[in-house]
Chains A and B, each alone.
Chain A
Amino acid sequence: MKKTILVVDDFASIRDFVCETLQRKGYETLGAANGNQAYQMLSDKPEVNLVLTDYNMPECTGFELLKKIKANPEIAKVPVVFLTTESSPDKMRAAKEAGLCAWIKKPYRAETFFAQIENAIVNG
């Protein structure tokens, strides 16, 4: 069965681009424009295999989304990966402590990107 990845980014062109890239690799994708929307979608569809989200977004940031997901037992198991230009070690550490699986920096190299995603889905 195809794995489903929920892609969260407020910047439509990046979101579409990431979705397309993932689809070419055989993943199903869903898109959300911010953390709140993503959380809503995830609550409706807990079978999502991975949440791939931007860090800086209006309304609900990636970090807030991560905390919300981990706080909800129904979906807490869904692995979350950040895809972001943010590179502050403090933020990374805080996110890891909150249960983040991996931190992929934009721009990514395709190999690293897919390796991290696959690893996150498998090892959660």
Chain B
Amino acid sequence: MLMDNNQKRFVEDALDLLNELDEGLLQLEANPQATAPLEQVFRTMHTIKGGANMFGFENIGELAHHLETLYDLVRQGNMQVSDGLISITLHAFDKVRDLLKEKDATKIANADELKDHLKMAIAFLKSAETESMKVAQASVQPISKKDQLATFFFRISPTVNMTIDGNHPLVFIIQDLEAVGTARTFCYKKSDGNIAHWDVYLSTTTAQAEIESYFLFVENECHVSCTMLLACDLFGSAEFKKFIEEFKDTPTDSGELIAFVQMIASNFNNQAATEDDLADAEPTRKKSYNDTFIKVSKRKIDDLLNWISELIILQAQLVNVTSSVNSPEITEVTEQLEHVTNSLRDTSLEIGLVPVETLVTKFKRLVRDLSKNLNKKVNFLSEGAETEMDKDVIELMTEPMIHIIRNCIDHGIETPEERRQAGKTEHGTVKLKAFNTSSYVNIVISDDGKGIDKDKVLAKAIEKGLVAPDAVLSEEETLSLIFHPGLSTASAISDVSGRGVGMDVVKQKINDLRGYVTIKSTQGKGTSIHIKLPLSRSIIEGLLVKVEETRYVVPLNVIDRIDRISYDELDRGNQVNKMVVVNEETLSVFSLRQKFHGETAVPKTTDIISVTVNGIRKGIAVDRIEGKMQTVMKPLGDAYQQQDFIAGSTILGDGSLALVLDPSRLFQLSDN
């Protein structure tokens, strides 16, 4: 069904409003305490709701209604503006925006399209209500009352003459009343044809006060009595229906009615309970909402993780202590404990993870606004937005990623004319792809713009004295110059990306998170920046190794294989870096002993741990491998901040300390 002109005009207006709403929401996110953007957001949603309902898009109206309720809670001071709130709102209205771009009114009005967002909004409302009830105690009327299904009995007696086919508003108000739920109406007439009174049985989720307000503006022309019969849908009871039909010729005596209802109430409740047991659709759905989202304060999660990390240490201690006791019973218990601890660790880690999607929304707007500012046409695509990441990491990475995207649009994507001349489509594309590999989250931000001019970068680096004029650099090395502090993009002055953080800061932030960043660029084709971040910041699985009396932990996720060779093979010419043949391949090996320890009391054999970092396989030589362990990494003090090949430390089962190595930085150390 095509839209009529009114609907078309509504859609145009609504799209404008949605843009205003976006801006308001973003402002609100930046200043959660500010009232002006809050009021604007609330009002805009309200207007969208009104319009949508008016023009037959009840699905949009309903969604806007629930979201509006949330912001009303904020207005009343019963809820705080949170990332979650802003996100579900932005997502919901993004979907509305997409829907409104449909040409077909039936499609727009398709309730299914907004179902998920509606669920989310309702779930959020539920959790917020619980919160606000806690906060506000009994002083605020709980909104949940609204959702309570109840059956009411109304007797409406006009005090002025009116007929059923007359034009008195009351006649229509009765009809409106019937429309808020399941209703059965009996109209009793006087002998002159005027209405004596109406009896209306209504089961609805609308609150009594709201229903009564329907009659507010006709209260001088009628008497209304409203009785709540029972907090359930009495129309579900055959007895009740029979009862009210039997009395249709003689007006029901309300006392008699209430007595009857009380009589059947007990029966009916039992029946309702049975129906519940039989997986009644409605309650089940509500339950699952509650399961989907629970708001928990970050502090509690941090506490939980902290305790679990202590548990992991204790578990390791237990294994250590009992290893000397040769008892199958104890071994069985410790193994089971290890299993449970592992599951507990995995589950608890997931609690703190949130989908990258929250970032995507931010970036969408960034791309839209920036491209408009720069008169460029840019599409933003995202892939794998459901990939989960540590919330703290997301927060720390937001700024750097914004910077990268800014660069993409400002320096990467060409103007529409340039693109046409280069034989490309006018619209450039910036793409964000997120995915998991082992215990890493990968984020690739790419554009199909003009790419990085490597000669220019190199020339600038030489000019600034960062690189010797005769140096021969690989493509990768040249591109990584972009991250050099002395070659910040600030030199490419622009309104957009010359400010704020430079690429060196981006790199620093990623380093701080023990992540990696690589850059690839093809001139004329585009640039892609690959960021790899560890999934968890605190708990790692590792291999415990020993060199002299010092213990190290090598993260398990980078280890390919372990070989034991005789120490003599390694110890040639007193060199730290060696090429050793392992598994019929030559491997560049870094010896911890030679680098950090002495050559005294050398062991007979050495264990070579083959590690792949950034696509290159190298070996780490240690005296002895002690075993696999999961460990909680604790940061080292400031004194060790410069030793970035040590990612942190950990406490072992026997109470001693081990250093957690960062293999990639270890190799950088050996390369220099």
Contact = CB atoms under 8 A, between A and B. Distances in A.
Interface of A: 10-14, 16-17, 20, 54, 56-58, 84-87, 89, 92-93, 96, 100-103, 105-107, 109, 111-112, 115-116, 118-119
A12 B65 CA distance: 20
Nearest to B13: A13
Interface residues of B, number: 34
B209 interface: yes
A84 B49 CA distance: 10
A61 B10 CA distance: 21
Given A56-B43, A106-B54, A111-B172, A96 B216 contact: yes
Contacts of A112: 169, 172-173, 175-176
A87 B213 contact: yes
A101 B213 contact: no
B559 to A, nearest CB: 62
Which of B13, B14, B51 gathers the greatest number of chain A CB atoms within 10 Å? B51
A11 B217 contact: no
Contact of A56 (B6, B14, B46): B46
Contact of A17 (B46, B55, B179, B217): B55
A14 B53 contact: no
B46 A85 contact: yes
Given A56-B46, A112-B172, A12 B6 contact: no
A104 to B, nearest CB: 9
B282 interface: no
B362 interface: no
Contact of B209 (A12, A57, A89, A115): A89
Contact of B13 (A12, A86, A92, A116): A12
B210 interface: yes
Contacts of B571: none
Nearest to B166: A115
26 contacts: A10-B47, A11-B13, A11-B51, A13-B12, A13-B51, A14-B10, A17-B54, A56-B43, A56-B46, A56-B47, A58-B43, A84-B50, A85-B50, A87-B210, A89-B210, A92-B213, A93-B216, A102-B217, A103-B213, A105-B176, A106-B50, A107-B53, A107-B58, A109-B176, A112-B175, A115-B167
A85 B217 CA distance: 16
B55 A96 contact: no
B75 to A, nearest CB: 12
A118 B167 CA distance: 9
B53 to A, nearest CB: 4
B172 A115 contact: yes
A99 to B, nearest CB: 11
Most buried by A among B47, B50, B179, B210: B50
B346 interface: no
B212 interface: yes
Contact of B54 (A14, A103, A116): A14
B288 to A, nearest CB: 28
Contacts of A20: 6
B354 interface: no
B216 A103 contact: yes
Contacts of A17: 6, 9-10, 54-55
B168 interface: yes
Contacts, number: 92
Contacts of A92: 213, 216
A20 B173 CA distance: 24
A4 B6 CA distance: 22
A119 B167 contact: yes
A123 to B, nearest CB: 9
Interface in B181-220: 209-210, 212-213, 216-217
B171 interface: yes
Contact of A102 (B12, B53, B55, B169): B169
B9 A12 contact: yes
- Find the residue from B6, B9, B47, B65 having the highest chain A CB count within 10 A: B47
Interface in B592-620: none
Contacts of B51: 11, 13-14
B210 A13 contact: no
Kindly name the residue among B65, B213, B217 whose own CB sees the greatest number of chain A CB atoms within 10 A.
B217
Contacts of B213: 87, 89, 92-93, 103
Given A85-B61, A112-B169, 6 more contacts: A11-B50, A57-B43, A89-B210, A93-B216, A96-B216, A103-B213
Most B Cβ at <10 Å: residue of A12, A13, A14 = A13
B272 to A, nearest CB: 29
Contact of B169 (A10, A56, A116): A116
B53 A106 contact: yes
A107 B58 CA distance: 9
Nearest to B11: A13
A20 to B, nearest CB: 8
Interface in B642-671: none
Contacts of B49: 85
Nearest to A110: B172
Given A11-B51, A119-B168, A111 B9 contact: no
B50 A101 contact: no
Nearest to B6: A17
Interface string B1-24: 000001001101110010000000
Contacts of A10: 47
A33 B532 CA distance: 52
Given A87-B210, A89-B209, A109-B176, A14 B50 contact: yes
A110 to B, nearest CB: 10
Contacts of B54: 14, 17, 106-107
A106 B12 CA distance: 20
Given A58-B43, A103-B217, A115-B169, A16 B6 contact: yes
A61 B662 CA distance: 62
Contacts of A101: 217
Nearest to A111: B172
Which of A54, A85, A100 has the most CB atoms of chain B within a 10 A radius of its CB?
Answer: A85
B59 to A, nearest CB: 13
A13 B169 contact: no
Nearest to A114: B167
Nearest to B58: A107
Given A89-B210, A101-B217, A103-B217, A11 B9 contact: no
List 4 tightest A-B contacts by C-beta distance, closest first.
A112-B172, A89-B213, A107-B53, A13-B10
A107 B109 CA distance: 15
A26 to B, nearest CB: 15
A13 B217 contact: no
Nearest to B173: A112
Contacts of A13: 6, 9-10, 12-14, 51, 55
Nearest to B68: A85
A116 B168 CA distance: 8
Given A89-B212, A93-B216, A96-B216, A16 B175 contact: no
